[in-house]
């Protein structure tokens, strides 16, 4: 009986049909994990029960022995019971089969929950609209599979840059990040993406005022703000202001709707990264998902101005000690979307060509040395560093003072990473490819199949080039190192990439002050500074720390040596070896053995069922042959085991 037939036959049929569906739903939800090794949600279990109910309802009546309602016999009741149990077991097998098919087509967890489908449609509409606009822009520039006609006079790299500029801030930031990864992109793309700038028309002041009122409330009365922005970008714009009628400040305010737009773009980028990683081996090798995840985390941190304020506080003391100015922040006026800070009258190096040209050479060199020492101290000593040191974020004054702006992007390195990065710089200056290779191996993740000798030879060639004055300086060296390690199958942690990018962009900024300056050569000149500390006092401090950590082992070492020598003398010394020692290896072998056992049992059960069903004669029970009943039960068990065997191969384990 189908579900519709049950409805037409009255309330009783409806209740019976619903009860059957609920029973199948409960069986599927409760037993699927134990029987198939798959965790099935209630929604999927209910969908399966509906499919099974409709399928069973389309079958003809299976009972050849109708029940007489006026004079039912015990034999008739038993017969109907057997048939009902058979139908229920058949429905259960059919449900498991449907679950397995659904698991192969759409594994558990690959689709959003029903609740999110019902409540998350506004976000999906925005994401779909944004995705269509992105695809339209890419198509206009000839960058889609369907439309690969480039505009006249434009290369693919130029089209990519212009498309990113038109798509908006998130893709511009992505392009800026990729412009530092010559290990991933060819030179023509690096050159084009390095031209990306984030410029935007100023947002109307009434919208800016609305954001300020929402964030500051009555505190806004303390500020007298210039409605004309001093600078505007896609995410934020800056206004000059006077605080409490006496302090010259700037107000950095996030544009209305910017955060929502960026979050939608990041969702699209993450989906695209996962899709590419599933289908392209090269994407998995370079870690495209990890790259986009790290980029997304960095961008989201930049959207929260509390993070920028915390970064400024973390770096302020160390930078001031080194002679680099950092603006003071008025914490009581800072929120998630607003920062009020001291106004600097310095000139960004990006626009300070005339000022720098008029400065004496010794002042320019001193300014470059101060900035270099400060940044090396951040990376190699403090472990917290400014990660976006392009020339627009570095200010200079006529007296040679330097200052930093925009602390939205900050990197962090632990003690081991700082030590090994310092050793890498030291090894390059000392022309020691072996030490440089050891430092790289400690910095990066690698497997046991790495060709260390080949890596050392390559590092030697790179060091010879950079020491011989090769074009590109330290930035080219760092980019070549990243390219080499990726070719060797190594993965680069995001914080290491950020540190190398910071050093590379720093060198470009420093050359505005001192065109012939090289970062590694300057580090040699500052041998009594940060790098020198790594080879003298730093090494002594590390040895002292290692001795303290090894003290418990040293105290127990004599007792353990005595025990080993006693065992050797008395012939009790033994060794134990486990062929499969890694848990993953054991799990693989156990899973393989389980699949073989389940498949063999399923085959024997189905074969036994067939033999019982085709055997003639035999006793009867409730009008059925015993061989048929046993064959049905054995076939049921065989089918369940066969479905489990297939699910173990294709399904996602619970």
Question: Does the structure show a pLDDT above 60 at 653?
Answer: no
Instruction: Quote the pLDDT of residue 198.
Output: 57
**Is a pLDDT exceeding 80 seen at residue 399?**
yes
Scanning 431-493, the segments in alpha helix (DSSP H) are: 433-443, 452-467, 473-487
Q: Which residues are CB-neighbours of 560 under 8 A, at least 6 positions away?
A: none
Residue 17 in this model has a pLDDT that exceeds 90: no
Q: What is the mean pLDDT of residues 544-565?
A: 77
Beta strands (DSSP E) in 335-393 are 338-342, 347-348, 384-386
Q: Which residues contact 558 (CB under 8 A, 6 or more apart)?
A: none
Q: What is the mean pLDDT of residues 107-136?
A: 73
Question: Could you tell me the residue ranges of all domains in the chain?
Answer: 3-66+76-115, 346-535, 586-650
Answer whether 229's CB lies under 8 Å from 237's CB. yes
For residue 246, CA distances in Å to 47, 169, 325, 342, 618 come to 69, 35, 21, 12, 107
The pLDDT, as a whole number, for residue 654 is 44
Question: Does residue 62 register a pLDDT over 60?
Answer: no
Looking at the predicted structure, is the pLDDT value of residue 524 above 60? no
8 A C-beta contact, residue 26 and residue 91: no
The radius of gyration of the chain from alpha carbons, rounded to an integer in Å, stands at 35
Read off the pLDDT of residues 477-506 as tens digits, 9 standing for 90 and up: 777 787 777 777 777 777 887 787 787 778
Nearest to 377 by CA among 253, 532, 151: 532
Contact between 13 and 53 under an 8 Å Cβ cutoff? The reply is no
**Which of 484-493, 619-628, 630-639 has the weakest average pLDDT?**
484-493
- Residue 7 — very low, low, confident or very high, per pLDDT cuts 50/70/90? very low
Which of these ranges, 21-35, 289-303, 404-418, 441-455, has the smallest mean pLDDT? Answer: 21-35
- Cα four-point dihedral sign 69, 72, 77, 79: negative
pLDDT at 13 (0 to 100): 57
* Greatest alpha-carbon span in the chain: 118
Q: pLDDT grade, residue 72 (50/70/90)?
A: low
pLDDT of residue 223: 93
With a pLDDT cut of 90, the percent of the chain lying above it is: 9
pLDDT score for 3: 43
Indicate the range of 186-195, 311-320, 540-549, 645-654 predicted with least confidence: 645-654
pLDDT of 243: 92
Q: Is the pLDDT of residue 463 over 90?
A: no
Residue pair 375/386 in contact (Cβ under 8 Å)? The answer is: yes
Contact 163, 133 (CB under 8 A): no
- What's the whole-number mean pLDDT along residues 386-401? 87
- Residue 448: per-residue pLDDT: 67
Residue 40 Cα distances to 74, 99, 115, 514, angstroms: 39, 8, 16, 65
| Residue 59 clears pLDDT 80, i.e. is over it | no
For the packed helices 626-650 and 74-105, what is the interaxial angle rounded to 10 degrees?
20
Across the chain, mean pLDDT equals: 78
More confident residue, 571 or 84: 571
Establish how many alpha carbons lie within 13 A of residue 610's alpha carbon, considering only the half-sphere containing its beta carbon: 8
Tens of pLDDT along 131-178? Answer: 888 888 888 887 766 565 555 556 788 888 888 888 887 888 888 778
416-425, pLDDT tens digit by residue?
Answer: 888 888 888 8
Q: How does pLDDT run across 322-335, given as a tens digit for each residue?
A: 678 999 999 999 99
Instruction: Please give the DSSP secondary-structure letter assigned to residue 547.
Output: H
Q: What is the 3-state secondary structure (H, E, C) of 562-591?
A: HHHHHHHHHCCCCCCCCCCCCHHHHHHHHH
């Amino acid at each position: 009986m189908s579900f519709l037939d049950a409805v037409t036959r009255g309330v009783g049929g409806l209740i019976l049909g619903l009860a059957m569906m609920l029973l199948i739903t409960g069986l599927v939800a409760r037993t699927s994990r134990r029987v198939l090794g798959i965790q099935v949600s209630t929604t999927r279990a209910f969908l399966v029960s509906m499919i099974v109910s409709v399928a069973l309802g389309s079958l003809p009546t299976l009972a050849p022995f109708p029940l007489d309602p006026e004079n039912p016999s015990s034999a008739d009741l038993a017969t109907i019971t057997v048939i009902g149990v058979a139908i229920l077991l058949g429905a259960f097998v059919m449900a498991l089969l449907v679950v397995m098919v659904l698991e192969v087509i759409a594994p558990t967890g690959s689709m959003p929950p029903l609740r999110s489908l019902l409540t998350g449609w506004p976000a999906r509409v925005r994401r779909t609209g944004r995705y269509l606009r992105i695809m339209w822009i890419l198509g206009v520039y000839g960058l889609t599979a369907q439309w690969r006609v480039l505009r006249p006079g434009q290369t693919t790299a130029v089209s990519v840059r212009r498309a990113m500029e038109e798509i908006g801030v998130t893709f511009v930031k992505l392009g800026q990040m990729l412009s530092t990864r010559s290990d991933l992109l060819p030179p023509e793309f690096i050159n084009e993406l390095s031209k990306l700038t984030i410029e935007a028309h100023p947002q109307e002041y009434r919208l800016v005022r609305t954001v300020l009122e929402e964030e500051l409330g009555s505190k806004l009365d303390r500020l007298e703000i210039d409605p004309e922005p001093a600078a505007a970008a896609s995410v934020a714009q800056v206004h000059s202001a006077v605080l409490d009628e006496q302090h010259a400040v700037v107000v950095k305010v996030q544009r209305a709707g910017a955060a929502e737009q960026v979050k939608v773009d990041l969702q699209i980028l993450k989906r695209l990264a996962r899709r590419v990683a599933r289908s392209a081996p090269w994407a998995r090798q370079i870690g495209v998902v990890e790259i986009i995840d790290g980029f997304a985390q960095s961008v989201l941190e930049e959207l929260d101005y509390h993070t920028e304020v915390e970064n400024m506080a973390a770096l302020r003391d160390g930078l001031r000690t080194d002679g680099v100015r950092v603006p003071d922040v008025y914490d009581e006026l800072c929120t998630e979307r607003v920062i009020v800070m001291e106004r600097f009258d310095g000139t960004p190096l990006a626009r300070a060509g005339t000022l720098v040209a008029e400065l004496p050479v010794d002042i320019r060199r001193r300014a470059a040395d101060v900035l270099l020492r400060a940044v090396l101290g951040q990376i190699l000593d403090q472990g917290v560093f400014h990660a976006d040191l392009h020339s627009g974020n570095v200010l200079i004054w006529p007296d040679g003072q330097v200052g930093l702006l925009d602390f939205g992007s900050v990197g962090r390195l632990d003690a081991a990473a700082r030590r090994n990065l310092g050793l890498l710089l030291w090894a390059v200056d000392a022309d020691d490819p072996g030490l440089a290779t050891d430092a790289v191996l400690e910095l990066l993740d690698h497997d046991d199949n790495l060709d260390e000798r080949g890596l050392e030879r390559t590092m030697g060639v790179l060091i010879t080039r950079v020491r011989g004055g090769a074009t590109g300086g330290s930035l080219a060296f760092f980019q070549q190192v990243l390219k080499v390690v990726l070719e060797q199958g190594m993965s680069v942690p995001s914080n290491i990439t950020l540190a190398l990018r910071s050093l590379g962009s720093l060198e470009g900024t420093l050359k505005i002050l001192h065109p012939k300056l090289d970062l590694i050569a300057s580090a040699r000149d500052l041998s009594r500074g940060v790098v020198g500390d790594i080879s003298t006092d730093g090494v002594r401090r590390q040895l002292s720390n290692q001795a303290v950590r090894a003290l418990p082992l040293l105290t127990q070492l004599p007792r353990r040596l005595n025990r080993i020598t006693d065992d050797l003398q008395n012939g009790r010394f033994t060794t134990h070896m486990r062929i499969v020692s890694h848990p993953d290896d054991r799990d693989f072998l156990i899973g393989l053995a389980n699949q073989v056992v389940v498949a063999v049992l399923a085959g024997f059960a189905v074969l036994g069922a067939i033999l019982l069903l085709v055997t003639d004669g035999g006793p009867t029970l409730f009008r059925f042959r015993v061989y048929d009943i046993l064959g049905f039960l054995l076939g049921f068990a065989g089918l369940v085991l066969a479905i489990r065997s297939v699910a173990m191969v294709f399904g996602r384990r619970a």
